[in-house]
Chain A
Amino acid sequence: MSKITAKLSAEEKKMLRQTYWRSFTLYSAVTPAKQGASGFEYSMMPWINHFYKNAADKKDALVRHMAYFNTNLAMSPFIMGVTASMEKQNSEKADFNAESINAIKTSLMGPLAGIGDSIFWGVLRVIAGGIAISLAKSGNFLAPIIFLLIFNIPVQLVRWYGGQLGYTLGSSYISDLYEKGLINIMTKAASIVGLMMVGAMTSSMVKLSVKWNMVMGGKTILKTQDMLNQIFIGILPLGITLLCFWLLRKKNVSINWLILGTLVIAILLALVGIV
């Protein structure tokens, strides 16, 4: 497997190693609003510091990678590798569109989460658990250790080589596209996939349903959620997300207030029994 890294400099290999170790902490400070943003940032710091010497560029990169990030942990180094290769291009080329970095990040995290969750959580963990349970029931004290090894050896291999693969693939394709002047077309294409993924994630991750029904004379005459579903399924999560987006974009409301407001409103609505 050393072929993957054959063309990389010692410095790049070192940063890939740092990303591998740092990405263990992806979800250390996981929050509902941004999931693993701080862990992604922490994993990208070696690259940001290496590529950007100018304080303003460095800040831009730091802000960029504090965006919402959520994927399967085993897959995260691959995305970090691709991201790092794009940061490299961005630092070297004045007209590189920095927005394409987050566009590509976002279009990768959804599908890789889907693949990773089903392979590692769905299949591998169940196999490891099954073997360990039968060992434990026959009194074998090594059961927990065997459980951890069966699960973690494949995961760590994917994490280790995934980062290298992401970085080298990213480097070769992205510089090629750049030279042909196609980076804007690629950014637009990536943004399309990204936006579709965000739409899909809005539908699958933002959840809100109304529990309150109209009751008259002891009989339920209107099931609110059923009625809403007849209008448009997921109208509430979609509406709330669009409201947040509008507040963020047009009204410049800070996410501080958005988070706090959502929290308070959710508890109040739950208190009065609406949701």
Chain B
Amino acid sequence: MYEAFAVAIVVFLTVGGQELLGLTMLGRPIVVGPLIGLLLGDLPTGLTIGASLETIFMGIVNIGGASAAEPGLASALAVAFAINMHGGLGVALPLAIPLGIIGLQIKTLLYVAVVGPFASRFDTLAAEGNEKGIVRLHFGLWGLQWFLYALIPFFAMLVGSSATQAALKLIPAVIVHGLTVAGNVLPAVGMAMLMKILWDKNISVFYFLGFLIVAYFKIPLIAVAVMGVIIAILIAQRDFQIHQLQAKPAAASAVDHSGESKSQQEDDDFFG
């Protein structure tokens, strides 16, 4: 019971904690492993296995919700089972990989199905000007999501390693797949909301330009941004000249404007 509790708390505070504390890497195997080792009375094993799992999961980072596995839960359970069975990496490794994949699926499930639907609740609260409500929901959802997530290691420790693996196989693959698909499609709603803010008939073609160059030429976002800035500067320069012409009486000569506009255009460049 103590062990189940300890592992659950570690998962809650590291994997969940890093979401609250600015993705500060608390949930990486190199941190979780030794911590579990310390609490279960075998720090050297925790440290060695944590280091090995860090090597294996090195390529796996959670960027924008897209990932291949959740290393924190995997490390916590793999280290705990290895210590209980007096085994080393040989015991931990075969457990860690499937646990990491399952951990990610459960994380996705919570992200899409539990927290996801609250996105519109946040909008309602904002429209009501209910700041306290927003703050409560902001932290409440964090607590709820990671409490639920921490239940997995808790029960996994109670029932043991073989039973855990058997139980996890029972989750219908089609549900997991459906939620993954939904998680990949849902950003469309966010994009639509941004478009609602930015959309203007005259400049809407640039949305399609951005889409096109990424879809066909696989250009990184940073390059798209630089291209966007260049286009924006060109258009701002033209608009600026029109602005100058309208502002001054027709008598003013065109030569004056181009000289005078230099320094002002530099201001445009920064925000372009």
Contacts and interface: CB of A to CB of B under 8 A. Distances in A.
Interface residues of B, number: 115
B7 interface: no
A213 interface: no
A66 B193 CA distance: 10
Given A27-B23, A66-B122, A196-B228, A185 B187 contact: no
B190 A266 contact: no
A176 to B, nearest CB: 6
Interface stretch (A3-11, A88-96, A217-225, A237-245): A237-245
A199 B64 CA distance: 17
Interface stretch (B53-61, B78-86, B94-102): B53-61
Interface residues of A, number: 120
B31 A194 contact: no
Contacts of B232: 189-190, 192-193
Contacts of A27: 19, 23
A114 B227 CA distance: 15
B48 A35 contact: no
A37 B135 CA distance: 12
Interface string B17-57: 00111111110101101110000000110011011001100
A166 interface: no
Contacts of A180: 264, 267
A255 B193 contact: yes
A129 B271 contact: no
Interface of A: 23-35, 37-39, 41-42, 45, 49, 55, 58-59, 62-63, 65-68, 70, 73, 99, 102-104, 106-107, 110-111, 113-115, 117, 121, 125-126, 128-129, 132-133, 136-137, 139, 141, 143-144, 147-148, 151-152, 155, 159, 169, 173-174, 176-177, 180-182, 185-186, 188-208, 232-234, 237-238, 240-241, 244-245, 247-249, 254-256, 258-260, 262-263, 266-271, 275
24 contacts: A28-B141, A32-B116, A32-B186, A33-B189, A34-B193, A59-B128, A62-B131, A66-B134, A68-B194, A114-B222, A115-B222, A193-B272, A195-B207, A199-B207, A199-B209, A199-B211, A199-B212, A207-B185, A240-B188, A244-B188, A259-B116, A259-B189, A263-B112, A270-B181
